[in-house]
Structure 1
């Protein structure tokens, strides 16, 4: 009689296996965390001057100094652990879902292009209002993910995996409301990210066609 050995998959092994399905989102999350740790080890993420030296967005530096790289580097910087934690928690769930349904490279485009688009709108608003503030955070990219996922869910009859259109719109609305009623929140980046994500979702996502097989 043959003997078979059954080994139960550990929680850690299951976690690693699931992360392998979403390598791009895993990379973005790790990049944000590692950058935050580097910032903290060399100073403080709550120091405006220190964040500026690490590449936070600042209108005069971008426009007059032509330091356009800040439109990208600022996406991976966060003012404190709570700021980082809030963004990464949302990205962990919504980003995973979007990458699984959109594909690796298209998801990377949504995150990066959506984040840069959000920063551009924020820059435009700051210049128009004559503001000079140091800003940073992945919120613009996160809102781009939400915008793209809203479109993906709409195309799939209002539900995909565990998410519905109502849940996503409510999440976006509450986040925007919190930004409007709070101090020090870059609302332009949030709105810009949401709009860019929705547009990118329309351009990049194609619903898989049904396959029929004759018996």
Structure 2
């Protein structure tokens, strides 16, 4: 209960993601009706897919990775900027990631994708604004500054987005990250100054 009172939105989002994903695995019609699918969005104006697809996943590993990252960074961001600001950042990143994927695949009506990756990418970039030199561990082994991890994450996502088999929304990583970054600077105006101050301190600035 104590953890829930500290970051209720993060834990609630994780619970909703798990519930929706598990239900989708056992109900293909639900999964198909709520995944990101360019054709129905364009032709039938099923815009809800841009939101609902962010709560579905293709398998256990996909779900666990996204929820692990969401908990690691989301809890910290929510505690630091407040629940309301965190939710604004999260959903702006989710929808922004879907919009990016939609624009990139506008001429491909068969394009489908699911996953919370867009929203999680935005949360990750928000984290990097406040703690750019916090050490993250790749595969739990390789230490890397958060800002470098974020850059590599986006570059890898851009590369994977070019693959033909793209049920995981790699395009959404890019859009989600950018929307999350911008929205963080809007709802927490001091965030850019905090980031700049740490960069300046690294190079001997005051």
Shorter-chain TM-score tier:
0.7 to 0.9
Aligned residues: 180
Question: Which digits, 9 at most, give the CA deviation of each residue in 1:17-59, with x for residues without a partner?
Answer: 123200001110000011112123335xxxxx66213x00111
Residue 144 of structure 1 is matched in structure 2 by 122
CA RMSD, Structure 1 to Structure 2 (Å): 2.4
Residue 14 of structure 2 is matched in structure 1 by 29
Structure 1 length-normalised TM:
0.75
Residue 53 of structure 2 is matched in structure 1 by 74
How many Å separate the matches in 2 of 1:104 and 1:51? 29
With 190-199 and 131-140 compared, the bigger mean Cα shift is at: 131-140
Structure 1 residue 149, shift from structure 2 partner: 1.8
Give yes or no for contact 1:152–1:205 (8 Å, CA) kept in 2: no
Query: Looking at CA atoms only, which structure, 1 or 2, has the larger radius of gyration?
Result: 1
User: Which residues of structure 1 form unaligned runs of 5+?
Assistant: 1-15, 44-48, 209-215
Residue 17 of structure 1 is matched in structure 2 by 2
Structure 2 length-normalised TM:
0.78
Structure 1 residue 207, shift from structure 2 partner: 4.7
How many Å separate the matches in 1 of 2:151 and 2:109? 25
Q: How does 1:56-205 map to 2 (within 5 A)?
A: 56-128=35-107, 130=108, 132-153=110-131, 167-179=145-157, 180-181=159-160, 183-184=165-166, 185-205=168-188
